[in-house]
Structure 1
Amino acid sequence: MVCRNNQFFCLSILVSVFCFAASSCNKNINSESNKAFVCFTNVSPDASPIRIVFDLTDTLTGSGAIPFGSTSGVAGNPYLTAVAGIHNLQVLGSGGQKYVDGNIALSVSHYYSFFAYDSVTSGGSLRTLILQDVLNPVADTSSSVRFLNFSSNAPFLYVQFTDARDTFYLGNRYFPFVGDRQTPSALSSNSIIKAGTYHVVGTMNSTSFYDFGSMTFTGSKIYTLYTKFPVDSTTTNSLGVIHHN
């Protein structure tokens, strides 16, 4: 779901929890039964490094702000732990700028990817995208790859993978700019490829090519690749990479 600032994010339907007297309605962050997991990525080239604040006080990125083209956590474990439920969420710049201020709904034991993207507008806000991550096991000879297009100057991209034996288009479809009101299901899907090293190129037509260089994908691993605004046909573009496991 693509949302504007100050809108209810509502990516997923919350799991209803019926609380009886003296039950666990007051669960806290130390409870193992009310956790949700979110990784945060900064895809805004002109925003300062971002901090994520829940309910005005809980700074999830307290160990450090997230600069452009980076994701929370570490490679293989990008997720931060939050309490499931509906929360106020703010994305703040290093100088206290409030880029996003709205609500987010998180379901118990679910995993999410949150992206703050686009250029900072005259009002100082960023656009956001929240996707539910399905981390199904992958065979040790394969990799799972999701591709997201955050480049408004490339309204759609076909993504070509080439190795020593084969050339194919990821997902056999094009990847639209995420800001064009795409549905979460269209953006959340992953493609299974053979593990290995590929040269990756984005194309819009027979004359528009964007070189993304050589990339290696390890067996049993799950990746999100994303473009960084804007892409340039005259040079090699560095894709952002999230290592989910």
Structure 2
Amino acid sequence: MILNKFRPVSYSRKLKALSLQLLAFSLFSCNKTADINANKAYVGLTHVAYGFGPLNVTLGVDSLLSVPLSFGQTSGNPGNPYDTATAGIRDLALYENSVKLINGYAAFQQGVHYSLFAYDSLDHQSLSLIILPDNQGVSMSTDTITYFRYLNFSPGTSLGLLLTNAKGTITISASRFVGYAPQPANYLFNSIPIGNYGVYVFNDSANFTVSGPNIKPVDSLFLNSAVNYNIYLQGFYDSSSGTNQLKLKSFPLN
């Protein structure tokens, strides 16, 4: 679902309005007689908007975060990215300092966990927010298998992953920059054997090998059997240092 009931927000002289692109799979539904203390959803935010400083999210009058989130960070605590929010159709706003950047309505279903990613393509007018449910249509991990979702936040690219260890090699097909394909249905969970992996990024799906010219090593990856994962690329393929360095990042989901 694409929520497009929004109020444009002035950001600067160059920015007359920012488009809101809030995406989710399903509308909220609940029993109005439910105990309000049980009427909770669980929401985590990841900041991959290159052109912005620390960000915060409000749902109605409530701030999701106690401290604004810096670029490259995910909310919550290690092992648990979520903060608790009241379920329902909420008036959501994304802020940089006191400046409201995005404002619109989003539906959060009771008991469901959500990953929010704030991202852009180095253009302030491209700032967007994608909302993905984390526990819909996902099987439970086993002793040998877990599940992951892969997103590419490297602007202007189409990049895949090659995961290697002593047991073999796994290819994760190239995915376009999220801004080119912002529909949540593009980011489903897939199964993968647990373990430690060396990870390579490739930009040519038709011609790549570990030692080839169209592939480069990035961070290693450990996948546990107890949880599922968001895995995403941040940075630029041709950059090797600083905040623009291409990085593979991941965080576990409940």
Asked if these proteins are the same fold (TM beyond 0.5), I'd say: yes
Residue equivalent to 1:117: 119
Closer, same or farther: CA 88–6 of 1 in aligned 2, 3 Å: farther
Equivalent position amino acid for 1:179 in 2: G
Equivalent position amino acid for 2:201 in 1: G
| 1:139 Cα offset (Å) | 0.8
Closer, same or farther: CA 126–143 of 1 in aligned 2, 3 Å: same
Indicate yes or no: 2:67 matched with 1:60: no
SS in 2 for 1:137: coil
Residue equivalent to 1:74: 77
SS in 1 for 2:200: strand
Closer, same or farther: CA 234–81 of 1 in aligned 2, 3 Å: closer
CA offsets per residue over residues 193-234 of structure 1, 9 Å max, x none? 222111111112144324222222222221111111323365
Residue equivalent to 2:223: 217
| 1:119 Cα offset (Å) | 4.4
Could you tell me how far apart the structure 1 residues matched to 2:177 and 2:203 are? 12
Closer, same or farther: CA 201–37 of 1 in aligned 2, 3 Å: same
Q: After TM superposition, which residue ranges in structure 1, 4 or more long, deviate above 4 angstroms?
A: 1-6, 233-236
CA RMSD in angstroms comes to 2.5
Could you tell me how far apart the structure 2 residues matched to 1:2 and 1:17 are? 20
Aligned 1:4-83 pairs, distance under 5 A: 5-7=18-20, 9=22, 11-17=24-30, 19=32, 23=33, 28=36, 31-32=37-38, 34-55=39-60, 57-62=61-66, 64-83=67-86
Could you tell me how far apart the structure 2 residues matched to 1:215 and 1:147 are? 13
**Unaligned regions of 5+ residues in structure 1, if any?**
none
SS in 1 for 2:185: helix
Aligned 1:75-154 pairs, distance under 5 A: 75-93=78-96, 95-119=97-121, 121-122=123-124, 126-134=127-135, 136-154=139-157
| 1:143 Cα offset (Å) | 2.6
Residue equivalent to 2:250: 241
2:235–2:246 Cα contact (<8 Å) kept? no
Which fold has the larger relative contact order, with Cα–Cα distance below 8 Å and residues 6 or more apart in sequence?
A: 1
Could you tell me how far apart the structure 1 residues matched to 2:27 and 2:131 are? 15
SS in 1 for 2:85: strand
**Unaligned regions of 5+ residues in structure 2, if any?**
5-17, 208-212
TM-score under structure 2 normalisation?
0.79
SS in 2 for 1:70: coil
2:2–2:24 Cα contact (<8 Å) kept? no
